[in-house]
Structures are given as C-alpha cells and as structure tokens.
C-alpha cells in the first residue's frame, strides 16, 4: 500500500510540474502577444498620423494643378481673342508654355514619388 501511495504521489507531482511548465509557456505566449498588440496599436497610430498628413498635400496638389490649368486656359483665350501687340502675345504664349511645362513636371514628380499600392 505504501508503494501505491508513493506512486500516486509521484504521478501527482509529475502532473503539477507539467502544469507549471505549461503555465509558464502560456505566460510567455501571452506576454509576446501583449507586445505584438502594443506594436500594432503604435503602427495604427502612425498610419493615422500619415493619413492626416497626406490628405492636405493631396488637396494642395489638386488645387495647384487646377489653378495652373485655369491660368493656361485664360492665357490661351487671351491669345485667341487678339487685340494685343505681338510682343505681349509672345510673352503671354511663353508664360502659358512655362505653366504647362511646370504642371507636367509637378504631375510627373507626384507620380514618381507616390508609393505603389500594397500588393500592386
């Protein structure tokens, strides 16, 4: 009988040790998950900050492009209407050309510096 009690006691001790080891492993996994969760939350905050910063820039780019397009059209309309000297017409044409070139440069720069969509 004494032997059975010792054997049972040994089994119980083994189970307790096994449970303690598993508990430590679970604690490690939970700690790691907590660290990952903190990092994900920090990344989410950074993404929100970037989105907030990009929004006004996109709006500004669109506004600039719209303004330049309107100015170019006004200059072209002024040239087409006539009634001005050749020198003024040449200067207006030069400004219109320069604005179109700058608009194309801004568009190309924006395109070149816009990151590709994830998975694209």
Residue 1 pLDDT > 60:
no
User: Domains of the chain: which residue ranges?
Assistant: 2-112
What's the pLDDT tens digit per position in 57-113? 777 777 777 877 887 787 777 777 776 677 777 877 788 788 788 777 877 777 777
- Residue indicated by tokens 């004494």: 2
What pLDDT does residue 84 have?
67
* Averaged pLDDT for residues 35-48: 85
What is this structure's pTM?
0.39
What pLDDT does residue 24 have?
83
């Amino acid at each position: 009988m004494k032997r059975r009690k010792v054997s049972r006691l040994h089994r119980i001790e083994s189970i307790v040790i096994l449970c303690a080891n598993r508990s430590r492993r679970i604690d490690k996994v939970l700690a790691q998950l907590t660290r990952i969760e903190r990092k994900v939350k920090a990344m989410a905050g950074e993404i929100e900050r970037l989105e907030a910063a990009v929004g006004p820039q996109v709006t500004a780019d669109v506004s600039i492009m719209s303004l330049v397009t309107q100015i170019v059209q006004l200059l072209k309309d002024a040239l087409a209407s006539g009634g001005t000297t050749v020198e003024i017409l040449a200067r207006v044409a030069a400004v219109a050309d320069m604005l179109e070139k700058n608009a194309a440069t801004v568009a190309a720069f924006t395109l070149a510096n816009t990151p590709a969509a994830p998975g694209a």
